[in-house]
Each structure stands twice: as C-alpha cells, then as structure tokens.
C-alpha cells in the first residue's frame, strides 16, 4: 500500500489528517525557515471558507491569535466592501481590506478609500453579452447590488465564450476571471496584486514582508507580488502551481497550522 493518501475534494476528518502528512509522516512546513514576514493577507471564499461559504471556526481563532501577537491580518477578496467590512470587523483583524478583486481598497484606520475603476464598462459589457449568449443573466450574482468597480456573472456562465466575444467587442481590454463562485469582468488595472501594493504603500510595508493565502485565479496577482504565497488544499491547479507552497491542509484548515508555525 502507498504511504501517500490521494487528495479528495470533500475529505473526511481522517483523510484530511492523512493528506496533511508527507510520506515520512511529518507535517509539512508552510513558511520558509527564516523570514521577516510582518503581515498576512488572505482570500475569503474558498480560502477562509469551504465550498459552501461556511467559515472555519478554527481558522477564525487562529487569525485572532496572530493579531494578538502583533501580526496584522488583511482580506483580499472578490467580495464587495460591505461584506468584507463586516467580516473584518467581526474577525477582529486590523490589516487592509482589498475588495472586488482589487477594485476597491479600504484602509479605515488610515482614512483611505480608493477606487481603481467605477464598474460602468464592466456592467455595460455584461448587458451586451446577454444579447449575444442565450440565457446569460446580465444581472449576475446577488452582491452586484453593492459593486463599485467591476461586475460579476454567475459561475455557471461560459467564460471561454465570454472572452471570445469580448475580444471582438468595444470592451476587448476587459479581464474575465473565473473563481469558484463567480466570473469577474474587470478593467485591466484591477487585480488583487495592484490592490495589495496600494495598501502597502499606505502602510509603509514592503511586499516582501507579506504572506498571502488564496485558492483561485484572482489570487494569482497576489502571489506574484507578495514575499511568500500559500495555496490552500483544494485550490485551482493553476493557482497552486504559482504558490511558493501548496498547503496539504484542506482550505481553511491551513490557518491553524500556519499560525502555529508562524508563532513557534
């Protein structure tokens, strides 16, 4: 019998434990042996939550533990500002809020609110796409009611067809990014990496001092600019391949292990 446990999408507790062990039976290190990391910035959906958008309570406790040790925790999400702020407040964290895949950067402690786009072109493109693709719902996902910089279509839409159509439209420069929960239509300058850099400029922190954690292609720009990147177990394969470390722990179960290692 092989020493390695196959990775499964919705593992049992025992399977999760086994797939978090390397073949020699020791737990995997998530951080470099020596580092000067001073901030953690994390995605929400599929990273801090499971595929049903349920928070992992052990991860919540771990993040509070990191904050209590003086390490700020921030959120970099495709979600809108009201939802991000509510979670930020209830988690009790103090790091940046990078919302709408980097389209909105909010630093209330520094009295800074930045919009990288106004979302008008993205919404217009969604309306046009609904005339080109039978059944496409231009209204998109529910949180569009609060979107300020981009527009999101439902995850079941055909993102390849959307890209093909937009390439020959008046919006050829719009980015189409699929996550596990939506298809984002955004201006080319809008991404989580640029959003993080804006926040770090406000805070006076080097990107090399930031650890980021994510699961989906809209996290890829984060991985490209941060000093250290971790893809949670269950991440998109393309995103996991960009990370410095692929966590063997399923989604938010990564955080208790990460924080324990960080504070050891």
Active site residues: 43
Residue identified by tokens 């496409």 is 136
What is the spatial distance between Cα 81 and Cα 54, in angstroms, rounded to a whole number? Answer: 19
User: What is the CB-side half-sphere exposure of residue 212 using CA atoms within 13 A?
Assistant: 33
183 alpha-carbon distance from chain centroid: 14
What is the spatial distance between Cα 183 and Cα 157, in angstroms, rounded to a whole number? Answer: 8
116 phi and psi angles, rounded to 5 deg: -85, -10
SS3 call for 129? helix
List the beta bridge partners of residue 212.
Answer: 41, 229
SS3 call for 252? helix
What is the spatial distance between Cα 114 and Cα 24, in angstroms, rounded to a whole number? Answer: 48
Expressed in angstroms, the distance from the first to the final Cα of the chain is 34
**Strand 182-186 vs strand 39-42: parallel, antiparallel, or unpaired?**
unpaired
DSSP conformation class of 87: H
């Amino acid at each position: 019998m092989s020493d390695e446990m196959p990775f499964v999408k919705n593992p049992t507790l025992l399977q999760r434990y086994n797939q978090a062990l390397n073949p020699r039976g020791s737990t995997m290190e998530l951080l470099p042996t020596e580092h000067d990391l001073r901030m953690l910035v994390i995605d929400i959906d599929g990273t801090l939550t499971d595929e049903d958008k349920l928070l992992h309570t052990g991860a919540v406790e771990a993040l509070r533990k990191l904050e209590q040790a003086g390490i700020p925790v921030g959120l970099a999400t495709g979600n809108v500002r009201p939802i991000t702020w509510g979670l930020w407040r209830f988690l009790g964290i103090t790091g940046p809020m990078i919302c709408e895949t980097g389209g909105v950067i909010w630093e209330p402690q520094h009295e800074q609110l930045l919009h990288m786009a106004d979302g008008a072109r993205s919404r217009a493109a969604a309306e046009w796409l609904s005339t080109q693709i039978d059944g496409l719902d231009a209204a998109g996902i529910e949180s569009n009611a609060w979107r300020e910089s981009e527009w999101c279509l439902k995850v079941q839409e055909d993102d390849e067809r959307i890209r093909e159509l937009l390439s020959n439209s008046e919006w050829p420069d719009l980015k189409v990014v699929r996550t596990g929960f939506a298809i984002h239509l955004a201006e080319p300058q809008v991404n989580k990496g640029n959003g993080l850099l804006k926040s770090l400029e406000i805070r006076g922190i080097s990107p090399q001092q930031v650890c980021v954690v994510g699961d989906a292609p809209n996290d890829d720009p984060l991985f490209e600019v941060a000093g250290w990147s971790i893809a949670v177990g269950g991440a998109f394969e393309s995103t996991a391949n960009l990370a410095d470390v692929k966590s063997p722990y399923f989604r938010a179960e990564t955080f208790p292990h990460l924080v324990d290692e960080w504070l050891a």
